Amino acid sequence: MTQAAEIPLLDLETAQGLADAFLHHGVTLASIKGLDEDDLESLYAAAWQHLAEGRAHDAVDDLLLLATHDPWEPRFQFAYGLALQLLGQYEAAAQHYAQALLMDATHAGCLLRIGECLEQLGHAAQAEEALRACIQLSYQRPEDHLLRAHAQERLQALQGGAA
């Protein structure tokens, strides 16, 4: 059997073919458009730098492209969520943090940010639950101690100063 016979031919012309390619063959919009990992990483690095500088409005379009073109990358979902949160779009941000958490269940930062978004949306009880989950999860990785401290501060503030 030749190698060409082993590679399935994918139908990228129909909606059903695209859905099959995305769900069963690991195809992403980035791969269809010829964007490789280096292209995506360069765009991610530039967008993350904008976020670090407090320029979410300059990062959001690139992060949307990344989250759309490679939706299975939790870093892209998290960063897009962060940009949306910084722009005051808390519900959409929480959804992207939740997607990132589904792909990386050890990411305590997702729970912290979900808690912050829920707090901003006026859902104090759910925010407290997310912050408690963040605190619990943060004990699994020593490098998450700062996340834990921030979550504890937010939780104490939500509870009116009594932790």
Mean pLDDT, the chain, rounded, equals 88
Tokens encoding 44: 């991610």
Tokens encoding 35: 């964007």
How many Å apart are CA 18 and CA 48, to the nearest integer? Answer: 30
Pair 123, 114: CB distance under 8 Å: no
55: pLDDT strictly greater than 70: yes
How many Å apart are CA 43 and CA 61, to the nearest integer? Answer: 11
DSSP secondary structure string, 35-65?
--HHHHHHHHHHHHHHHHTT-HHHHHHHHHH
Q: Mean pLDDT across the stretch 62-78?
A: 92
Q: Mean pLDDT across the stretch 94-99?
A: 98
70, containing H or E segment: none
Query: What is the residue type of 45?
Result: A
7: pLDDT strictly greater than 60: no
